Amino acid sequence: MPQTSKWKFLVILATCLLGIVFMIPNIMNKEGLEQIPSWMKPVNLGLDLQGGSSLLLEVDVAAGLRDQLHAVLDAARMNMRQERIGYSGLAVKQGAVTFKLRNPEQLDQVRVMLTSQNPDIEFNAKDGEVYLTLTEATKLARKRSMIQQSIEIIGRRINEYGTAEPNIQQQGEDRILVQFPGIEDPARLRQLLGKTAKLSFRLVHPQSESLVMEGRVPPGYEKLAGEGSNGYIVSRQILLSGESLVDAQPTFDQYNQPSVSFKFDALGGRKFSTITRENIHKQLAIVLDNKVLSAPVIQGVIPGGQGVITGRFTSKQTSDLSVLMRAGALPAPLNVLEERTVGPGLGADSITQGTNATLLAILAVTVFMLLFYSFFGILANIAVIFNIILLLAGMSILGVTLTLPGIAGIALTIGMAVDANVLINERIKEELRNGRAVIAAIDLGYTQAMATIIDSNLTTLIGAAFLYIFGSGPIRGFAVTLSMGILISMFTAISLTRLMVDFWFQWKRPKTLPI
């Protein structure tokens, strides 16, 4: 019998030892976990195992498309003013930007001007009324973009909030499923996700207070609500948006009141400096989601792109506002369609039941292998134990989230882990019955069974791959644990057990095999 090469022995030994090291955090209590290095982490538990909240959100695509139409409106207004083209009734109505030309003879000029600058719009006119609509291709692209941007920003907000291992995935055309295990304040996080968080800096009308009292809104302005006031008349022109922000942190102002400090990037800092230089003694409204947070009077040039938002905030509000500003604005509002909360007690019951099922599977497999294969069954059982150790270690290293279907995958893996050993042991028995010598029977048992082992596991891996590709959430968790378990079982059944058999054979030099 050829002995296992030195390098192969070292690789197998190192793999098993590393598996034990990375598996250890999964059997430690909270106090013990605090004492070990940060790179040693236990397996993350999913929503169904440690409790938490699940939200089904719907992206308000119509609102997002309206925002794009308003951008088309602003561009049309600016272009027509530059070309001194008279118009009236410019507004967004029923999914289109509409206006009427004072001089119908300028229709072709306006058509060429607007469509050449914006290929995403369709230009139609009827009875002197102009209609600007988004093309179907633009609507579809914008819808996809809104979904992807929303998923990305939701992830950033949850990470800023401090929730570990959220599960965020698209469902259907315009819905997003968000699951956050272990969350202690789901209501607060729901509010955090629901805010669009569109931050902008705009000028307040010089006669804002009197205009509010009179109930008048001049062209190019709009009335926005504000803390501790009847509202503000604010310019529709956005001087600077929140996209230029690089940081926002909760702090305290000079009167020791909660506030939010912010900082722009280099370009945003230059713009902010220019804005403050050109508008000294004017009110600058800081607007979030169409609500004026504060409207300070610019007393001088503010260089460096840094500032502070003050108002009647609580410490919790400044913390949430900082998270929203850092994570960025959603491209469209989110509506909560469904909220589901799983208590930690139910999760603990799931863990207990899953653990019991896994232990029963281990016990049944162990008894079966001992009854049918004697000493070689013991070696197979040792391989099963290392299979579980390496599986938990692999999940810890990769940061895989373990769910209840994942536990089912582990239990199934235990049964499949000995499948290769069954094939090998049965082949060894067959070779012995055919009169082969002990050494030849062992060699042929491993070599001849190899093709069958690879084929059987490969077909299962293909099925698991399709589950992962086309499945979602828990189904993917099951596919991941099943795939990892299969790959690890091939290693333990073929390499680890062969190493143990080689050592045993070199030590005992048996004339017959206990199989």
CATH at residue 283: 3.30.1360.200
How far apart are the C-alpha atoms of 244 and 242, rounded to whole Å?
Answer: 5
Closest CA to 178 of 272, 324, 54, 25: 54
The pTM for the full model equals: 0.58
Mean pLDDT of 384-397: 90
Q: pLDDT band at residue 322, thresholds of 50, 70 and 90? A: confident
**351 and 497 both lie in a single domain:** yes
CATH value at residue 347: 1.20.1640.10
Q: pLDDT band at residue 346, thresholds of 50, 70 and 90? A: low
180 within domain boundaries: no
Q: Which of 86-90, 298-302, 414-418, 423-427 has the lowest mean pLDDT?
A: 414-418
What is the rounded average pLDDT for all residues in the chain?
A: 84
- Span 216-261, pLDDT tens digits: 999 889 999 987 678 999 998 888 887 777 788 888 887 788 888 8
162 within domain boundaries: no
Reading the block at residue 32, the tokens are: 């013990």
Closest CA to 354 of 392, 408, 416, 394: 408
State which residues form the domain around 221. Answer: 195-339
Mean pLDDT of 121-143: 89
154 within domain boundaries: no
Reading the block at residue 410, the tokens are: 């582990």
Q: Which residues pair with 251 in a beta bridge?
A: 259
**275 and 213 both lie in a single domain:** yes
Q: Which of 34-48, 393-407, 416-430, 475-489 has the lowest mean pLDDT?
A: 34-48
Q: Which of 92-101, 129-138, 431-440, 473-482 has the lowest mean pLDDT?
A: 473-482
Residue of 86 and 167 predicted with greater confidence: 86
What three-state secondary structure class fits 209?
helix
163 within domain boundaries: no
Q: pLDDT band at residue 361, thresholds of 50, 70 and 90? A: confident
Is residue 409 a contact partner of residue 481, using CB atoms and an 8 Å limit? yes
165 within domain boundaries: no
Choose one of 124, 139, 154: the last residue of a domain: 139
**418 and 321 both lie in a single domain:** no
Kindly tell me the burial class for residue 102, based on how many C-beta atoms sit within 10 Å of its own C-beta (0-12, 13-18, 19 or more). exposed
Q: Is the pLDDT of residue 170 over 70?
A: yes
Residue of 442 and 52 predicted with greater confidence: 442
CATH value at residue 71: 3.30.1240.20
251 within domain boundaries: yes
Reading the block at residue 56, the tokens are: 């089904």
- Span 328-343, pLDDT tens digits: 777 888 888 888 776 6
pLDDT of 228: 62
pLDDT of 389: 92
90 within domain boundaries: yes
Q: pLDDT band at residue 74, thresholds of 50, 70 and 90? A: confident
**356 and 444 both lie in a single domain:** yes
Mean pLDDT of 116-144: 88
* Overall residue count recorded for the chain in this entry: 515
Mean pLDDT of 423-447: 86
**91 and 227 both lie in a single domain:** no
**68 and 43 both lie in a single domain:** no
Closest CA to 411 of 454, 450, 354, 366: 354
**124 and 213 both lie in a single domain:** no
Choose one of 91, 112, 139: the last residue of a domain: 139
Residue of 105 and 417 predicted with greater confidence: 105
pLDDT of 77: 87
**305 and 380 both lie in a single domain:** no
334 within domain boundaries: yes
Q: To 10 degrees, the CA torsion angle through 273, 276, 278, 283?
A: 160
**226 and 282 both lie in a single domain:** yes
Q: Which of 175-189, 246-260, 447-461, 465-479 has the lowest mean pLDDT?
A: 175-189
**231 and 330 both lie in a single domain:** yes
**245 and 332 both lie in a single domain:** yes
The total domain count for the chain is 3
Reading the block at residue 309, the tokens are: 């938002």
CB-side neighbour CA atoms (13 Å) of 223: 15
Residue of 204 and 166 predicted with greater confidence: 204
Choose one of 339, 359, 384: the last residue of a domain: 339
**418 and 493 both lie in a single domain:** yes
Q: Is the pLDDT of residue 1 over 60?
A: no
Q: Is the pLDDT of residue 484 over 60?
A: yes
Kindly tell me the burial class for residue 429, based on how many C-beta atoms sit within 10 Å of its own C-beta (0-12, 13-18, 19 or more). middle
